[in-house]
């Protein structure tokens, strides 16, 4: 499906959101061509796996090492590429796996069940939607990514969000994951504080690590995958982000080659039992 000069993209975007069905709703309807609001005018920036030529391994930080060694590894990883795999982190693998399964179960439940949570409001404690690519968009970027998201906000200022309307398995599992990751987040804030030389509690006190956003992304199968993007090139406007990867893959990062030209896109392969930490804009 190609866009024409008289195509009303804003009307199409409004109609899509009014359906409250997300990208998965398009797949469920049997769509065979990608609607223009998802199409990229140019090829996506990240390279395909076949065109990624440089072998590059994201650093690993072993949290079971002596504290001084761990701090040194965190400092080196933050300076070199801004990402690292945290291993031996103490979060049970079963909790992570269950959270991934629960998120998938939410997105794959019947349309009527998930549409009850559809909202583009950024302050909602629990919201499901296809989040528009924020302006100013990169040249040729689509209005929407080929991705649905369930967002759950946790924070000391509001207490725990009301998850009561979520399916029981999803509700209980995501809350358990949040509690486990809060402890991990405090540990990361302490390590990053020490790596900066500002004292173990500085970042936690400044950023209130107890408050954070859980984003459960879902990428439905696409009839024309080469014409869409699941996520545009971006940085995270936060202290840090913790990613629990599944085994599908697809995540890429831009490696700084030191030339000022932006560097090369490389694949980030999942590591069994690891949590991936991305240093956010606040620390850059």
Instruction: Summarize pLDDT for 99-126 with one digit per residue, the tens.
Output: 999 999 999 999 999 999 999 987 788 8
pLDDT of 53 reads 44
Residues of the chain with pLDDT under 70: 1-5, 42-56, 135-140, 155-162, 169, 205-211, 257-262, 284
Quote the pLDDT of residue 48.
47
Give strand ranges (E) for 121-237: 126-129, 148-154, 212-218
> Which residues in 219-257 are b (16+ Cβ under 10 Å) and which e?
bbebeeeebbbbbbeeeeeebbbbbbbeeeeebbbbbee
Write down all domains in the chain, each with its CATH number in brackets. 29-47+55-283 (2.60.120.330)
**H-only helix segments in 20-62:** 22-28
Helix (H, G, I), strand (E, B) or coil at 85: strand
CB of 192 closer than 8 Å to CB of 238: no
Q: Which helix (H) or strand (E) holds 68?
A: helix 67-80
Burial of 268 (0-12, 13-18, 19+ CB in 10 A): buried
The confidence score (pLDDT) of residue 42 equals 58
Length of the chain: 284
**CA-CA distance, 149 to 218, in Å (whole number)?**
6
pTM (predicted TM-score): 0.86
CA-to-CA separations, 254 to 83, 149, 283, in angstroms, rounded:
10, 23, 17
Residue whose C-alpha is closest to residue 153's, from 180, 170, 133, 174: 174
Structure tokens at 130: 């296809």
Answer for the pair 149, 23: CB distance below 8 angstroms, yes or no. Answer: no
The β-bridge relationship of strands 60-62 and 83-87 is parallel
| Start-to-end C-alpha separation, the chain | 41
Note the pLDDT of residue 169.
67
Max Cα distance, the chain (Å)? 64
SS3 content of the chain, % helix, strand, coil (to 5): 35, 15, 50
- Residue 64 CB coordination number (10 Å): 10
């Amino acid at each position: 499906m190609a866009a024409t000069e008289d195509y009303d993209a804003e009307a199409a975007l409004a109609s899509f959101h009014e359906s409250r069905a997300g990208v998965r709703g398009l797949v469920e309807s049997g769509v065979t061509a990608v609607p223009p609001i998802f199409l990229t005018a140019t090829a996506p920036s990240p390279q395909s796996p076949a065109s990624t030529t440089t072998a590059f391994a994201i650093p690993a930080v072993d949290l079971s090492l002596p504290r001084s060694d761990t701090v040194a590894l965190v400092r080196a990883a933050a300076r070199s590429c801004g990402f690292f795999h945290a291993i031996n982190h103490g979060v049970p693998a079963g909790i992570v796996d269950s959270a991934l399964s629960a998120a998938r179960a939410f997105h794959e439940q019947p349309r009527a069940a998930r549409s009850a949570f559809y909202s583009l409001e950024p302050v909602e404690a629990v919201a499901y939607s296809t989040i528009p690519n924020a302006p100013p968009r990169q040249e040729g970027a689509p209005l929407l990514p080929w991705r649905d998201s369930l967002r759950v906000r946790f924070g000391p200022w509001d207490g725990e969000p009301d998850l009561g309307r979520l399916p029981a398995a999803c509700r209980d599992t995501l809350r358990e994951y949040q509690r486990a990751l809060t402890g991990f987040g405090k540990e990361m804030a302490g390590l990053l504080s020490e790596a900066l030389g500002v004292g173990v509690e500085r970042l936690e006190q400044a950023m209130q690590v107890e408050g954070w956003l859980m984003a459960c992304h879902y990428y439905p199968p696409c009839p024309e995958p080469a014409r869409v993007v699941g996520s545009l090139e971006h940085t995270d406007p936060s202290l840090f982000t913790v990613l629990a990867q599944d085994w599908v893959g697809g995540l890429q990062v831009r490696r700084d080659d030191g030339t000022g030209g932006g560097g090369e896109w490389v694949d980030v392969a999942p590591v069994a039992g690891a949590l991936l930490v991305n240093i956010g804009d606040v620390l850059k």
